[in-house]
Structure formats: structure tokens, C-alpha cells
Structure 1
Amino acid sequence: MSASSNQPANKNTSSDTHTDSQNYRAMIKSLADTKTWLFVPATRIDRVEKAFASGADAVIVDLEDAVAQTDKAQARAALKDYYDTQHEAKNYRPIWLRINQADSAEFAKDLTLCQQLPKLAGVLLAKAEQAADIEKIHQQTGLPVIALIESAVGLYRIDEVAKASGLLAFSYGFLDLCNDLKVQVDTSSADIIANQIRYQLILTSKIHQLLAPIDSIYADFNDSTGLHKRVQLWSQMGMSGMLCIHPKQVDVVKQALQPTAADLSFAQRVVAEYERSGQAIFKVDGNMVDAPVIERSYQVLSSAK
């Protein structure tokens, strides 16, 4: 995805402003099938090609948590060198960049780097808390922004942040939020909080016509069973994708998103009957089928492609 051809237009503060730009709507549509967002440390820029080879839909080079404070300048320089040699290649695929939080000393340096990188796909802002920070990134780079909600303040302000010009989507850092909220991780209480966060992000994204939110990382990359269950949870809730921290997670996420044989068979019968009869309401397997069921059946068939 080229940033220059898919820049979201400036938005007003009303909830319908995301519909103002044809390019913005096209970007939302183009990313609807982006399910796996794989992190690569900026100190290991050599892993970008391996990350894409894993089948990840998007690759995020991380200048924030994955890079020690003493290594950030060197990481930026390495990324600039990578772009200088790779961005004109025929097989080049644009990457996303996670930058440091807006109140850090690294933020301005990261923004300068973004301005120097041609064909960058977009920016993830760590610890997003203010609409003004999103707009500053977009105004200075022309790039779409994904806001990472990682603090109580950021979560409290999500409706304000959602109105920012250039905002594409939300994700969240659950471990950071747990630390800030004093929630004990890996408990049933943490699960309740996580689902509440998901619900808030899903609702806010829908109201402001953003891309559906992207779920947080699953830390144990050797636990494919647990990851599979997590993917089914967020996908059933209506989120669009997931942040991944290891290439082996990519296939697990994609497999977990495939409809079951029973769901696929039912969807096929619903669509076949709808297209045969043209009726708005009918029965399949003794179940009443109306517009929402028909729409969902088309979604199931699309997800199986």
C-alpha cells in the first residue's frame, strides 16, 4: 500500500467525517482483510523480508519497546539505510513504523525519520493519549496513523482521539494498561477488563467509521492453543486483526479465522437459496433467514476465500 495514494483526508469533529474522503474509504476497505500485523525490532531490520515471508499481511518495524534507549539512534540510521537501498526494488512492500510516544525525546526524531522514508505504509503511535499528537504526525508526514491505547488516560480519551485527522484505527497494549490500572494479568479479572477495552474500542471505531480495532499481542508465542482461542474471541467480537510478535503466530491466526465446515456449509445454503429465490425472508434447515443472516453468510464465504 502506497502512502501517497491512500492518504486519509482531513476530518472534522463529527462522527461522519470519515466518509468525506474517497481515498480514506478506499484505505479502510483495502485493510479490511489485513489480519496479521507482525512486529520486527528496528535493531533487526534484516528480518523484514523473513517477516513478509511468514505470510504476515503487514509488517511493523518497532522503534519503541523493542529498542533500548541507547540503541534508538542507531536503529533509525539502520532503517534509513534499508529504505535507501530497498524502496525502489520491484518486490518492495511498504512497512509500518511504530514510533515513540509523543511526550518522549525520541518523538521528534522519529517524525523526522518518517519524513525521510519514501513509501512508508503508515505509523503506529505508542501510548496515544491526545488527538493533537495524531494530527501532528499526519500533518507532518501525510501518513495514516494507528493509535495504540496503553494507558488509563488514553482509554478515557478514546472518543476525543477518534476524531483526529489522519487516524485510521485503534489497537491497544494490554500489559501496559494492566500496569497502569493495577490489574493482575493472567486472571479472570484481567479477562473481564480486556473484553471491556475491546468493547470500547469496537464501539468507538464503529461510531467514527474507523477500521475495526486490532487486538493486542499474545505474549506466549509457543502457546498455539491459547492463541487460537484468543483469535476466535476477538474475531467474534468484531475486531479486524491482531498484533503478532513472532512469525510462527501468523499461520495460527489465519487458521483460527477460517470458518468451520458447518458454518461454511450453512452459509453456502443460505446464499444459494437467497440468489435462487430472491426472497428477503426464507428458511434454511428450519431456521428463519433474513437480511442480517444473509449478510453474515456472505461474510463467511468471503472469509473462506
Structure 2
Amino acid sequence: MDSVINNKINTISQNKTWLFVPATRIDRVVKAFNSGADAVIVDLEDAVAAEDKVQARKALQQYHDSADYQPVWLRINKTGSDAFIQDIQLCQQLPNLAGIVLAKCETPLDIEQAHQGTGLPVIALIESARGLYQIDAMAKISGLAAFSYGFLDLCNDLRVQVDTPAADIVANQIRYQLVLTSKVHQLAPPIDTVYPDFHDDEGLNDRVQLWSQMGMSGMLCIHPKQVVVVQQTLRPTDEAVLFAQQVVTEYERSGQAVFKIDGQMVDAPVIQRCLQLLSKNEQDKY
């Protein structure tokens, strides 16, 4: 794996909030960064009608060349389409893009074409049964940095009824497959799909707790207000930080691999988890 992709994988692992901005509303990019989003994705795919894509590309080019530019990710159209070819040509004129998000990724060749055409790291969006079936093969391709997925599209393709207990089971199976495959192939942990109702803070909070507990790295957001909720939910509690500090302090003092803190047995996996929590908490301060 080349150093550029490897560095990008490390960066992706630290990004918790990925905020979409339609390419037809480039003026919102600055506001998106000001919301505190870790990464901004300019969307040239579903958020832009076919007749508006040419003008949207021009707007992105103008923003890229402006003094206000901050590196953005670009969601491009699926391989095999005319829009994909035009998007690749655009990327070749935007040397300071952070990377590309490839819509409706289904085969290793899709990733190869996107990466070789741009030289940029690729986040593959899995949005069909065929794509989900191919994730292990895709994970071996140079240029892939991480997976994400479009759950509503997957539900349509799999004929799963959304907003049902069955859909929850399928969603967690998808998350598990992506987490496992990403770990085995040394990719960044996967990025969870969007939460459609941006007025439902409680539901979003529950979703964030779920994917973070499953080992995913971040989440696609569709509204700036979701960024704040995600970040607040991911912030460890004072009690968790205090316990981790007590564990690490005792471990460093005694050198023992097994001991008790407040009546709770602590061994190597607990120590490692506490070290990770404190390290992450320190990074999040800056």
C-alpha cells in the first residue's frame, strides 16, 4: 500500500463526521466546515440532476481555484456512465481534492478505474447486493481507503422493508461484514450510512452509539445539526475517562497485568481499551 493511501487511511480513521454538500450549492461548503464537520463531501451524484451536472462541475472548479478552498472529498457518479467519465476528467483538473467517494461501487474494477483515473484515495459506497457480495475482492485493490454504504439503496435491492426489525438485523449484518473485511485488509474502519431524519436527535444518538460500539469510524451526515449530535454522542463520559485514568495509573505503578479497580477485574484487553480511550480523548482536544 503506497504511503499516500496509508496516510489517508489514518486520517479517515480520525474523521467522525462526513457532511454532504450538493455540488449545486458550493456556497454551503464554507458553512459545512464551520459546522465543525471533520470532512466535507461535495456531491455530484444523486443530489445533482443530470441537467445540472455541467454547471455544478464548473462551480466546484471555481471553488477549488479560490482563496477560500479547503480540501473536500467528491462523490462521483458510478463507473460505466458518461457522468463518471466527466467526473474523472474534472478530478484531473483539481489537484487538491482530498479524495473521491465512489457511488454504487460493485466490483474491484470500479475502484481500479476511479483510482487510476485520478490518483486519489477511494471510499467505496456499497449500495447493491452485488457490491456487498464483492467487498472482500474490492478490499484487496490498491487505492481503496475505506468502505461506506447506502442502506436505503441496499434495502431496495435486497427487498428489505425499511424501518422494521428485519431491516435492523440486515443493517447490523452489513456493518459487521464491512468492519471485519476492513480490519483484515488493513483499511480504515468503515463509515456508517446516513440517518435520514435530521430532526430526530434522540434516534441519531442511538444510531451513533450503535455503530461506534461496533467498531466503525464515523458517519455520513446530511445536515450540519447532525454534526454536533454525533460529536457530542461520541464524547466519552467523565466516569469512563476517570476509570481509564485509574486503570492506566495502576498499571504503570504496579506493572501487573491483572488487578482490580473499584471491585472490577482488569486484565490486558481492559488495559488496552483504556489506553485507547485516553489517547483518543487527548487527540479530540486538539
TM-score, length of structure 2 as denominator length: 0.95
Q: 2:181 aligned with 1:200, yes or no?
A: no
Which residue type is aligned with residue 27 of structure 1? K
- Structure 1 contact 43–75 (Cα < 8 Å) conserved: yes
* Structural mapping, 1:1-305, within 5 Å: 9=2, 22-86=3-67, 92-305=69-282
1:15 maps to none
Tell me, yes or no, if the aligned pair for 1:138 and 1:145 is still in contact at 8 Å. Answer: yes
Deviation string 1:93-128 (CA, Å, 9 cap, x unpaired) is 210000001122200000000000121000000000
What's the CA shift for 1:84? 2.0
Three-state SS of the structure 1 residue aligned to 2:92 is: helix
Question: How far apart are residue 85 of structure 1 and its match?
Answer: 2.1
Q: Give the Cα–Cα distance (whole angstroms) in 2 for the partners of residues 256 and 299 of structure 1.
A: 17
Deviation of residue 302 (structure 1)?
A: 2.7
Contact 1:34 1:58 in 2 (8 A): yes
Root mean square deviation of aligned Cα? 1.2
CA–CA separation in structure 2 for the residues paired with 1:27 and 1:43: 27
Q: Does the C-alpha gap of structure 1 residues 229 and 162 become closer, same or farther in structure 2, counting only changes over 3 Å? A: same
Aligned residue pairs total 282
**How far apart, CA to CA, are the structure 1 residues paired with 2:245 and 2:66?**
48
Q: Percent identity?
A: 68
Give, in whole Å, the separation in 2 of the partners of 1:184 and 1:287.
43
Provide Cα deviations, 1:256-285, integer angstroms capped at 9, x if missing partner.
Answer: 101123222211110111111122222212
Distance 1:217 1:38 in 2: 10
Instruction: Render the CA deviation track for 1:4-58: whole Å, top value 9, x for unaligned.
Output: xxxx52xxxxxxxxxxxx4443332233210000000000001000000000000
Residues 259 and 303 in structure 1, CA contact (< 8 A), matched pair in contact too: no
Mapped partners of 2:31, 2:47: distance in 1: 17
CA contact (8 A) 1:147 1:170 kept: yes
Q: Which segments of 5 or more consecutive residues in structure 2 lack a partner in the other structure?
A: none
Specify whether residues 116 and 178 from structure 1 end up closer, same or farther in structure 2 by C-alpha distance, changes over 3 A only. Answer: same
Moved more, 181-190 or 24-33: 24-33
> 113-122 or 290-299, which moves further after superposition?
290-299
In the alignment, the residues of structure 2 paired with residue 188 and residue 140 of structure 1 have an alpha-carbon distance, to the nearest angstrom, of 41
Amino acid at match of 2:267: D
| Structure 2 residue matching 1:106: 3-state secondary structure | helix
Distance in structure 2 (CA, Å) of the matches to 1:201 and 1:235: 13
Q: Which moved more, 1:152-161 or 1:262-271?
A: 262-271
* Aligned partner of residue 279 in structure 1, secondary structure: coil
Residues 238-297 of structure 1 deviation map (CA, whole Å, 9 limit, x = unaligned): 000000000000010001101123222211110111111122222212222122111100
2 CA distance for matches of 1:207 and 1:246? 32
CA distance in 2, matches of 1:23, 1:63: 24
SS in 2 for 1:256: helix
